Structure 1
Amino acid sequence: MNSQKSMTSLLFAIFLIALNLRPAVTSIGPLLDTIRNDLNLTNSEVSLLTAVPVICMGLFAPLAVHWLNKFGQRRGISLLIGIIGILTLIRAWLNDYISLLVTAFVIGVAIAIIGPIISSLIKEKFPTRTASAIGIYSLGMGAGATLSAGLTGVLYVWIGEKWEFALAFWSTLALLAYLVWFVAMKPQQEEPLNIKRQQQVVFRSPWSNKRAWLILLFFGFQASLFFSLMTWLASAASELGFSLIEAGSVISVLTVAQIFANISIPLLLEKFPNRSFWIYFSLFLGTIGLILLLTGSVTLIWPASILLGLTLGGLFPLALLLPLDETTDAKEANSWTAMVQTGGFIMGGMVPLAIGILYDWSGTHQNTYLVMLGLIVGMFIVTLLLNKKTLQMQG
């Protein structure tokens, strides 16, 4: 009974930590124009506030291996959540462009290190319920993105049109996560680091493994699709004549559908564990959604946003599971996840920027949708190349 209670507390702590892994990026979006005008920035300068942390999530993911060895799970995550909370809070006072860029950079590094460590923790603590635990983890990230994207504008108005305090508000999530994590992850739940090092099994680096590179590409394609939609779907709605509030509602519909899939797909994986089926199913929904957007119909953007939200919500937990399926212990899972997220998030940060350049050149989002279709085709090809046996492994 105590063990069950301990695992439930740990899952809740993982959920709260995951809540903190998106607001630094997604809280900027609703206030992008406000910050740009207030600080007299160009579009490219203000877009770096969202691009930098995403690229950092990729560039610095390999540090997770060394961070885990040095600090362990409990202290390592506590330090990182503390960094996210403090740097988010000080945005209320250090609100010039350079300070925002520096905080975005450091928060991105912290998020980069947390991701692989949490995945390795799930591999270690929930070996027979990996899909469900990953589902809770991805649900937390989806909820964090939804809350910050949907409420930051409301907070801005409520606080008295002070965007710096609206951004700093999200530090409260870090405080809550820190307290719950510190209690849930009791010291006795983690072996001393010197014992871990003695017991560590030598494994081949994922950087020399072809399957790891395929999984990296899959993660990169789905991350690129996610950040491209979060960055440009509202703009695409505006191109169709939607008001600012209506365009924001399109994003809200997409994120609600995403959260629904974040919950549903991992639960369905427990009953029907065939990974490839759910990947193909998610890609099929996304293809239909993008075809609806390509029609240019004002009405069809709503069902398109639902289908694309379901696609994103299904692909993300599946992308998190693939490196865990390939590994046998927590340290190996940490190494694989760090590699996969390194390339994956760099792609996720660069593709939306490339779409912006393409949009400036063409003046239409029709090409944006074609790029997104290309990402779906890429995931389909990678899934075909991956060994079917691995994709059918049980969570």
Structure 2
Amino acid sequence: MSTQLKKQRSILILFTIFAISINLRPAITSIGPMLETIREQLSLTNVHVSLLTAIPVICMGVFATLAPIFNRQFGLKHTMYIMLILIGAMTALRGFVSGFPILIGTAFIIGICIAVIGPLLSAMIKQHFPDRAASVIGVYSFGMGAGSAASAGLTGLFYEVTGSYFFALSIWALLVIIGLASWFFMIKENLEVRQTVSVAVQVKEKGKSPWKTRKAWLFLLFFGLQSSLFFSIITWLAPIASNAGMTLLQAGTLLSVMTTVQIFLNILLPLLMEKFPARKFWINVMLVSGLLATILFWTGFHPLMWVGAVIMGIPLGGLFPVALLLPLDETDTADETNSWTAMMQTGGFIMAGIVPLLIAFVFDWTSNHTYTFIILTTMYLVMFALTYMIGDKKESI
């Protein structure tokens, strides 16, 4: 294959990774701006409505083991088609059938689909871009951030224009068309994902199980806390802003500002860390930014909350790709990396589904978001401690 053809093939794969990844968050992040509206119109508690974001995130951890099974049974081509079509169909269904059971059922199926797609995209990155993993993970994260930013910022606007939260939630099914079209053109290359190890919690017989390794547990906790922070803030920032006196449109715009900053940091921070590999320094910068933004939100003073939204984009944009890179830095073989990553994401996403639910339970009990900010602050402080326990990457100077 000529150099020009290889370059075109790589660009096509990169665009496809982006086009698919933009579909991995809108069905979850579009719920945040509509949280209060759904709760009021369906007469739900905060715990009930928070299940709409908690269930798919927990599924992302629990059902990640299905990825290699589907890959072996149906092949990469058909598995990706099935998962994308299901995400689109379930998202669209929210616009035609109302009721809490439908919202819960679609959230469950969408969560399973995301659980299958995520590991397969990671495997594609590892297989086709082994020497540029950090940069390509940035593209993957950028795609998810773009989907999050669009759905967080525009869902409230769609509701204001149409007066229908059904439409505001279901419109995001259109993004699947982009993913399916790009996958159709890319699959002509007859690309497959070779997986010799389950994306579950296993490792080669000769290797040591990550479940028996202290540092792998530290990675799991770090990934779980950063994911918990992301989904907690995405889910609860709009209700917090509304509680502080903002309109629904202002709260949605606040969320959009934060996620817009996030998508640029998804690309920028991994590149900076690749060029200046002082891992602890960059993580501390992100954690300090997140802690400061939390305090600004806590004031309830609108101008400071807008500043907080800009600053909060820093940790939300950087911590996820950094967490994905931790196993790559620490392990020596592809099989070992897969095993550590699987453990980290399985446990981490389960944590990330539970924490926003805990916030909902506490808020239902107290009707006070002070406890929400205490939970967020505690998570940041624990991550500071984990950062020093994890240390810098092995080869850094």
Q: TM-score, normalised by structure 1?
A: 0.89
The RMSD of aligned alpha carbons is 2.6
Task: Answer yes or no: is 1:248 the counterpart of 2:252.
Answer: yes
Matching residue within 107, 112, 132 for 2:110: 107
State whether residues 29 and 235 of structure 2, in contact with CA within 8 Å, keep that contact through their aligned partners in structure 1: no
Query: 2:355 aligned with 1:351, yes or no?
Result: yes
Letter aligned with residue 384 of structure 2: F
Residue from 108, 130, 140 that aligns with 1:137: 140
Partner SS, residue 189 of structure 1: coil
Task: Describe the SS at the equivalent of 1:147.
Answer: helix
Deviation at 1:223, TM superposition (A): 0.8
Q: TM-score with structure 2 length normalisation?
A: 0.88
Letter in 2 for 1:305: A
Q: Which residue of 2 aligns with 1:94?
A: 97
Identity of aligned residues (%): 48
3-state SS, counterpart of residue 242 of structure 2: helix
State how 1:47-66 maps to structure 2 within 5 Å.
47-66=50-69
- SS of the residue corresponding to residue 130 of structure 2 reads coil
Contact 1:131/1:270 (CA < 8 Å) preserved in 2? yes
Indicate the residue corresponding to 1:266 in structure 2: 270
Could you tell me how far 1:154 is from its partner in structure 2? Answer: 2.9
Aligned counterpart in structure 2 of residue 128 of structure 1, from 128, 131, 139: 131
User: What SS does the aligned partner of 1:83 have?
Assistant: helix
Aligned to 2:185: 183
Q: Is the 8 A contact 1:124 1:330 kept in 2?
A: no
Instruction: Give the aligned partner of residue 30 of structure 1.
Output: 33
> Quick one: distance in 2 between partners of 1:167 and 1:29?
10
Separation in 2 of the partners of 1:92 and 1:319?
35
Counterpart of 2:322 in structure 1 is 318
Structure 1 contact 74–187 (Cα < 8 Å) conserved: no
Is the CA contact 1:78–1:178 (under 8 Å) kept in the aligned structure 2?
Answer: yes
Q: How many residues align?
A: 388
Amino acid at match of 1:132: S
Match of 1:165 among 160, 164, 167: 167
Q: Distance in 2 between matches of 1:293 and 1:145?
A: 20
Superposition deviation, residue 387 in structure 1:
4.7
Quick check: 1:60–1:113 contact (8 Å CA) kept in 2?
Answer: yes
Can you list the C-alpha shifts for 1:21-67, whole angstroms capped at 9, x where unaligned? 11111122233343344444343322222221112112212333433
Shift in CA distance, 12/210, structure 1 to aligned 2, threshold 3 Å:
same
User: 217-226 or 359-368, which moves further after superposition?
Assistant: 359-368
CA contact (8 A) 2:87 2:173 kept: yes
Gaps of 5+ in 1: none
Q: Please give the per-residue CA displacement for 1:52-97, whole angstroms capped at 9, x wherever unaligned.
A: 1112112212333433343444433232212212222233333332
Q: 2:33 touches 2:251 (CA, 8 Å); kept in 1?
A: no
Partners of 1:345 and 1:352 in 2: CA distance: 12
Post-superposition offset of 1:5? 0.9
Residue 376 of structure 1 and its aligned partner are, at CA, apart by: 1.2
**Counterpart residue type for residue 182 of structure 2:** V
- Contact 2:134 2:270 survives alignment (8 Å): yes
Q: Secondary structure of the equivalent of 2:375?
A: helix
The structural deviation recorded for 1:279 is 1.1
- How far 1:324 moved relative to its partner? 2.9
The superposition leaves residues 357-388 of structure 1 with CA deviations (integer Å, 9 ceiling, x where unpaired) of 32334443233222212111222222222253
Structure 2 distance, partners of 1:365, 1:213, is 31
Q: Distance in 2 between matches of 1:340 and 1:204?
A: 15
Quote the offset at 1:188 in angstroms: 3.8
Give 1:111 deviation, angstroms: 0.7
- Give the counterpart letter for 2:171 in structure 1: F
Unaligned runs of 5+ residues in structure 2 are: none
Q: 1:129 to 1:239 in 2, by over 3 A?
A: same
